[in-house]
């Protein structure tokens, strides 16, 4: 399956029946990381939720989840697109993956070293 570069987030959810409609809830972490905003309009794709094979990647992440597109220690040039709630710079790379860059300003293109990697965001330190 090909995944669009425009993908903002990926999560599993159940479809709930509520009166005359069905609802898919977005996890709070997807709003908190800045990939999507409450009240926004987004395209939604549904993929069959069959149970995946056991994780054989040697990581603690489930095999069906996409792996972060960055690694600790990696050096990259990123463009700061937004500011987070604490004033840190926000860059988005492949598949909309977020890199938080403390001390960066919107519109800057900075060279960073990836200091910490989580499943849905990373933290980068400015090198230049």
**Average pLDDT for consecutive 10-residue bins of the chain (128 residues)?**
68 85 83 77 75 50 71 94 90 90 94 93 93
| Residue 110 in domain | yes
pLDDT at 114: 95
pLDDT at 116: 94
CB 88 within 8 Å of CB 100: yes
Q: Report residue 40 as tokens.
A: 């926004």
Question: Measuring CA to CA, which residue among 114, 119, 12, 13 is closest to residue 60?
Answer: 119
Show the DSSP H helices in 33-113 as ranges: none
| Residue 121 in domain | yes
Q: Report residue 38 as tokens.
A: 């409450």
| Residue 9 in domain | no
pLDDT at 77: 93
Rounded to whole angstroms, the Cα distance separating 88 from 75 reads: 19
What is the model's pTM? 0.53
Domain count within the chain: 1
Structural domain of 96: 75-126
Rounded to whole angstroms, the Cα distance separating 126 from 124 reads: 7
Rounded to whole angstroms, the Cα distance separating 35 from 20 reads: 29
| Residue 54 in domain | no
Q: Report residue 106 as tokens.
A: 């919107």
Rounded to whole angstroms, the Cα distance separating 122 from 102 reads: 11
| Residue 90 in domain | yes
User: What is the CATH number for 91?
Assistant: 2.40.50.140
Question: Measuring CA to CA, which residue among 68, 48, 51 is closest to residue 59?
Answer: 68
| Residue 93 in domain | yes
Q: Report residue 128 as tokens.
A: 């230049």
| Residue 34 in domain | no
């Amino acid at each position: 399956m090909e995944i669009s570069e425009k993908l903002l987030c990926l999560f599993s959810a159940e479809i709930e029946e509520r009166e005359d409609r069905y609802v898919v809830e977005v996890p709070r972490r997807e709003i908190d990381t800045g990939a999507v905003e409450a009240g926004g309009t987004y395209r939604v794709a549904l993929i069959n939720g069959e149970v995946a094979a056991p994780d054989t990647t040697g990581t603690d992440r489930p095999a069906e989840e996409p792996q972060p597109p960055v690694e600790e220690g990696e050096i990259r040039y990123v463009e700061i697109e937004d500011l987070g709630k604490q004033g840190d710079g926000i860059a988005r790379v492949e598949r909309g993956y977020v890199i938080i860059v403390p001390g960066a300003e919107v519109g800057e293109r900075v060279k960073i070293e990836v200091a910490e990697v989580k499943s849905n965001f990373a933290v980068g330190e400015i090198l230049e």
